[in-house]
Amino acid sequence: MTARAPCPAKGQTVRSGSFRREPSSAPGPSFGAAAEIAAYAGLVPFIACPVAMAFLPSYELRLLAQQIALAYGAAVLASVGAVHWGLALAGRLTWGPQRIAGAILPGVCAAASVVLNGQRGLALLVVSLGVFWLYEHRSVGEELPEDYLRLRRNLTMAGCCLLAFTMILSDSVGLA
């Protein structure tokens, strides 16, 4: 079985397992409009859960909506780390202790947020998503496609704001 060379994104080349930026002549995202639409559609549960918490009649249903927001946020956080793990395994990102920590810690923080539960768990998700965004942009941004970084910035900002709103709303509707 022969090893396949990584396939660079549009407008980028691969050198020594990392991306080198080259200007792209094609407009739009390199991963396709359908992928971008699907990514933004991933914000729907972050919107639906606080709306449900605000309007559901019983404590149990409001608690369920909060727990769904927490579980979904944890899944999103873990998947962000998994992206880095997959890119490193495919040889598209360089390996090192920082890369391994960056790939594993989001999943650990996601699990911890589920264990903490409630407002504390939501707060940990907000902080973890924000810190991982900073890690991506400050430490490994040169190795990642610009379109990915733009999409991640927008989704992280929206996700953090919606999770923070869910956390604040939790107190208003009588949830811990």
pLDDT given at position 128: 97
pLDDT given at position 22: 46
pLDDT given at position 15: 43
pTM of the model: 0.81
Q: Which two tokens stand for residue 82?
A: 């998994």
| Domains of the chain, residue spans | 54-172
SS3 14: strand
Which distant-in-sequence residues (6+ apart) come within 8 Å of 98 by Cβ?
Answer: 139
Consecutive 10-residue runs of the chain (176 residues): their mean pLDDT? 46 44 45 90 97 96 97 97 88 85 94 97 98 92 88 96 97 92
Using one digit for the tens of pLDDT, what is the confidence trace for 48-89? 999 999 999 999 999 999 999 999 999 999 999 999 888 888
DSSP state of 32: -
pLDDT given at position 167: 97
